[in-house]
Structure 1
Amino acid sequence: MVYQTLFSTILVAMIALITTHAADCTREGLLAAAQTYLSAQTAGSPSTLKLSASNFTYQQNNKVSDISKGLLSTAYKFDLSRSTADTVACASYSMWISTSGSKPFVVGTQIRHAGNNTDEISMIDTIAATTGDLFFDAKKTLGYIKAEDWSNINSTASRPSRDVLKKAGDAYLDMWTDAKAADTIPWGTDCERVEGSALTRPCGGSLPHGGSSKPNGMRRYVIDEVVGSVDVFCQFDSLGAWPDTHEIRIIDGKVKYVHTITVMRGVGT
C-alpha cells in the first residue's frame, strides 16, 4: 500500500513536470528554432524545417504564399544575421543581409510557434527587400548595422519593460497620423536610424508629425526585453500599403537604434 502511494505520488509529479515543461516557451528554444530557419535559408531548403502539420502559414511581404516558391527555396549567403526572442508571444525575429549575387536582399522574418511548442513552427512571416525598394543598398545597410552593438542587457534592472518597448514601437508607427507621437518616444542623443540604406543621426531628427489619415496597420510584434528591442511588422498604409518592418532598440531608457525594411512593390522575390 505504501509502495502504491509512493508510486502514485511520483507519477503525478512526473506528469506535472512534463505538462509544465510542454507549456514553457523558452528563449533557448526560440533562438534554436530561429537558427534552423537561418540554416534552411542558407541551404535554400525549407524541407529541413519542422513545420506544423496541422497549422502552418508562410507569409511573404504580407501575402500568404507557397513556401516552396518563396524566398526560402533559394540559397543565400549571409553577410550578417542575428535573432531576438519573445517568450510571451512565443515568437522570434531574425534579420539577415546578403550582398552577393545578382539579387541582394535585406530580410526580416518573424517565426511563431503555436501552443508554446518551439519544436514546431506554425508561421514564417517574412519582409524581404531587394533592389528597387525604399532606399535599398544592401552594402551600405550592412556597413551601418555591422558597427552596432546588439549584445544582451545583462542587468535585469536595466532592461526596458515589455510595455515600454511596445509603446515605443507603436508610437513610431503612429508618427504619420498623430502629430504628438514623435514627442512621446525617448530619443537618445547618440541614436542611429537606418532606413534601408539611409542613415540619420541622431534618430530624433527629421521626423513626421502627422499628416496622413491612414494608420499603419497589420501590426505583429516580437518584443525582447533581454536585448531591449521591439520589432513590428506592418502594412505601411500611411504612405502606400507597403510591407514593412520597424525594429527599435532601447538602452538605458533611450532609443539607441532604429531599423526599417520597406518593400515598395508588393512581393519582393
Structure 2
Amino acid sequence: MATLNGKKALVLGGSRGIGAAIVRRLSADGANTTFTYAGSAAAAQALASETGTTTVQVDSSDRHALTQFIQSQGSIDILVISAGTLVMGDPLELDADAIDHMIDVNVRAPYHAAVEAARQMPDGGRIIVIGSVNGDRMPMAGAAAYALSKSAVQGLVRGLARDLGSRNITVNNVQPGPVDTEMNPAAGPFSEFMHSFMAIKRHGRADEIAGFVAYLAGPEAGYITGAQHTIDGGFGA
C-alpha cells in the first residue's frame, strides 16, 4: 500500500544493511527517496538502480558537507538517520581518533542533520534516528563508547521532540537489537552469547526494522514523538 505517495524522504546511510532495507521500504510505499552513502559506491548504485531512488556520496562525519547537502535538498518530509559505525575493544587500548570519529557519525551527525532538515521541513514532518538497544543495555565488555553514543541519541530525540512539537514534526528513536547485517552477522562471534538471553533467540531482519520505520513515517504515527522504540527480540527484557 502506497501510504507515502507524494512524500519526499532522505535516508542518511542507506547503501547497506538496515539503511538499505529502509530505502527499499520507503520507496515501495511511494516516497520519493534519496539516500546517502560514505564508501560503498557499488552497493549504493545497485540499490538505486533496483529501487528507482537517488543516491549521493556524503560523509556524515563531515558536519559542513552534511549540512550543505541537506540544505541543497530543500523541503524534506521524512528524514531517516541510519548512518552509524561501531568501534569495540578494550577502552584502554582503543585509538582515540577512532572513538571520536564514531561519536561524530553516531551523535553529532544526527543532531546537525535533524536540525538542518527541520529548517525547511513542512509541518507534520518526520525525523527518525536509528539508535540501538545498547543505549539501554550493554551486556558485554568493550563497547562503552558505542553505548555512550546510542544513549546520547535518546536525549536528542526527547529534546528535539519538544523543540519541534509545535509544528507537529515528530522525532523518534528506533532501537534495534541484534540484526543480521555486515556489522553484526547472524553467524558472528557474539551470536550464541546474545541469543542465550534473548526471548526470541535469533537475529532480527533488516526488513523488520524497516517496517516499523515506515509506520513511524506514515500518516498513522502523528501522535508518536520523543520516544524510544525497541525492536530487539527481548534482548533488553
Higher helix content, 1 or 2:
2
Q: Same fold (TM over 0.5)?
A: no
Of structures 1 and 2, the larger Rg is shown by: 1
The TM-score normalised by the length of structure 1 is: 0.25
Q: Which of the pair has the greater relative contact order for Cα pairs under 8 Å at 6+ separation?
A: 2
